[in-house]
Amino acid sequence: MNLAQFLAGRLVKGIIVLFAIAILNFLLIRAAPGDPAQVLAGEAGAADAQLLEQLRARFGLDQPFLTQLWIYLKGYLTFDLGFSYRQQQPVLNLIMERLPATLLLTGAAFLVSLVVGTAMGALAARRAGKWSDSLITTLALMFYATPLFWVALMSQIVFALKLGLVPNVGYETIGANYTGLARALDIGQHLVLPALTLGLFFTALYARMMRASMLEVAGADFVKTARAKGVSQARVWRRHVARNAILPVVTLAGLQAGQLVGGAVLTETVFAWPGIGRLMFDALVQRDYSVLLGVFFVSSAMVVCFNIATDLVYRIVDPRIEANA
């Protein structure tokens, strides 16, 4: 199977998965109590039956269930994610405004956690049984067990409010009107705390996985053969142990990459980061179901893309893996 056939097969499977997820999301949202009409009528202070009927007719909530489902799916086929009755603009526009901020946050957290986690795990495996191994293992356990919201709040208090090293909230400095490199540096400073906070948990996962995988590979027969042939220890660990041990880490990273979007909801809320996680939280509070469904769909599409990218990375890391496996 060549690369084009492999990608085509993965894309077809991904479309089927997205279609099933879209239906499931619609059913779950419709099963929730209340509706947008009741929320708007309650805020207007005139929740009479006539107003509720007018609002339901305006938002299409008076249509039969299957008709609503068909309109919902037909819109997705044409990339029409609906209209936000709270924001008074198309859902797709809202998501596209927020998506770059979320991609920046999750991408930075993913890279930091993957690089730092694999490096910590490799160092712990090389020095297994020594004090550095115990220190790294203890730190990884602490990172894994510490609640994300507590880390977010404590990092704000210590590094932003007490030490003043980095900004505590926001995407960029309001009113500064930076441009070019100055704006990029300003955004980078605001990115430090959210990215490190979001990536801390995954750093611990990758460190523990890399350490265990390297210790397992280090006892394999082909590694013993390489040592018997006089290959240097550095080359054995780099070319034979680490290259084979990283495959489980790549698998885990591909699966966990999609979860970063879910973790970004809490992180974006605490740090006031204007991403789709914050948008989803606000839509949930306001019962803006069109926005919720749109964010769910885009998040699912991102997970599917991450999984396809993981399969491609597998082919690069280990060409022995068949594309149709």
C-alpha atoms less than 13 angstroms from C-alpha of 163 in its C-beta half-sphere: 7
Instruction: Return the CA Rg of the chain.
Output: 24
pLDDT-derived band at 303 (thresholds 50, 70, 90) equals confident
The DSSP element (H or E) to which 90 belongs, if any, is strand 89-90
More confident residue, 287 or 97: 97
Given a cut of 50, whether residue 227 has pLDDT beyond it is yes
pTM: 0.80
Q: For residues 114 and 126, give the distance between their C-alpha atoms in angstroms, rounded to a whole number.
A: 18
What pLDDT digit, counting tens, does each position of 185-202 carry?
A: 988 899 999 998 888 888
Contact 289, 297 (CB under 8 A): no
Among residues 322, 319, 320, 317, the alpha carbon closest in space to that of 118 is found at: 317
More confident residue, 171 or 260: 171
Where b means 16+ CB within 10 Å and e means fewer, 133-161 reads beebbeebeebeeeeeeebbeebbeebbe
Lowest mean pLDDT among 92-101, 163-172, 243-252: 243-252
Number of residues in the chain:
325
- In this prediction, residue 62 carries a pLDDT of 73
Among residues 108, 107, 132, the alpha carbon closest in space to that of 119 is found at: 132
Given a cut of 60, whether residue 323 has pLDDT beyond it is no
Give the number of other CB atoms < 10 A from CB of residue 201. Answer: 21
What pLDDT digit, counting tens, does each position of 36-69 carry?
A: 666 666 655 556 677 677 777 776 777 777 888 8
Given a cut of 60, whether residue 245 has pLDDT beyond it is yes
Which residues is 89 bridged to in the sheet?
Answer: 84
